[in-house]
Amino acid sequence: METLATETEVTSMPRIGDEAPKFKAVTTQGDINFPDDYKGEWVILFSHPADFTPVCTSEFITFANLESKFNKANCKLVGLSIDGLYSHIAWLRTIKDKIEFNGMKNVEVKFPLIEDISMEIAKKYGMLQPGESKTQAVRAVFFIDPKSTVRAIIYYPLSLGRNFDEIYRALIAMQTADAFNVATPADWNPGDDVIVSPAGSCGVAEERMTNTDELDCKDWFFCTKKLDKDEILKKVLKS
C-alpha cells in the first residue's frame, strides 16, 4: 500500500553548545563573515520581525543606547531581519532623526544590521517560527562566546519587547561562571553569592559541611560563597 508523504516545514535551530552556524552577509556596516570576524569576542546575534515597526524601533533605540556597555563587556551586537539593506538604512536614519523613546533621542545605530531577504540566515538559526509567522523572524537572541560556541538562547514572540537588563545580566553571569568556575543562582547579579559545584565525593561533602571559612553550605550539595562585585567586574569588563 502506497502512502502519501506530507510536506512539512521544519524549523531547525542551533542548540546550546553547538558551534554558531557560519554565514556571510551584507549589513549596514559592510560585509561580515560570521562568526569568524568575531573570534575572541562575545557576540549577541538577535533578530527582529521587521523595519519600521514600533516594538522593534524601541528595541533598537535601547540596544544602540547600551552598545558601549556591551562593548565594555567584550561583547558585540549584530542585528538581523529579512528586510533589505536600503530599508534598514532608511529605518535607522528615521530612528536617529525622528524617534524618541524613554528619554532617548538622536540615537545612532552603529552596530551591523544584516540584510536577509532570502531568509537563509534566519532559517539557519531557527528564527522563523511558522506558528508565529512565516514571513517575519521572531525576536531571537543568541549568546555566542569567544570560541564561537552558542552559550544561551532566548526567544520572544512578535508582540513582546525584550528585557535588556536581563540580556546584559545573562552575559555577565556566563562570563563570571567561566572566569571563576562557579554557577549563578536565581536572580543573580554581580555582588550576590555564587554557587559552588556540588561535591564529587563523600570526603569533599563532609569537608564542606565542617569548613565554614569560605563556603556557606545549607547541605552537602548546596554551597555558596561570596564573590566581590569589583573583583567580577575587573575580570570581565575592559578597563
The predicted pLDDT at position 204 comes to: 60
The predicted pLDDT at position 79 comes to: 97
Total structural domains within the chain: 2
The predicted pLDDT at position 6 comes to: 42
Distances (CA, A) of 115 to 18, 24, 27, 88, 122: 24, 11, 6, 8, 10
The predicted pLDDT at position 217 comes to: 85
Cα gap 71→74, rounded to integer Å: 5
Q: Examine the fold and report which residue of 133, 162, 191 is the final residue of a domain before the chain moves on.
A: 162
The predicted pLDDT at position 114 comes to: 97
Specify the CATH number for the domain of residue 28: 3.40.30.10
Residues acting as catalytic residues:
56
Both 76 and 187 in one domain: the answer is no
The predicted pLDDT at position 132 comes to: 77
> Checking DSSP bridges between strand 30-34 and strand 23-27, what pairing results, if any?
antiparallel
Q: Residue 1 above 70 pLDDT?
A: no
Both 150 and 193 in one domain: the answer is no
Q: Examine the fold and report which residue of 162, 191, 226 is the final residue of a domain before the chain moves on.
A: 162
Domain holding 191, by residue range, is: 181-236
Both 63 and 152 in one domain: the answer is yes
One-letter identity of residue 102: N
The predicted pLDDT at position 27 comes to: 98
For the chain, the average pLDDT equals: 89
Tens-place pLDDT, residues 50-99: 999 999 999 999 999 999 999 999 999 999 998 999 999 999 999 999 99
Cα gap 150→144, rounded to integer Å: 5
- Per the annotation, does 139 bind a ligand? yes
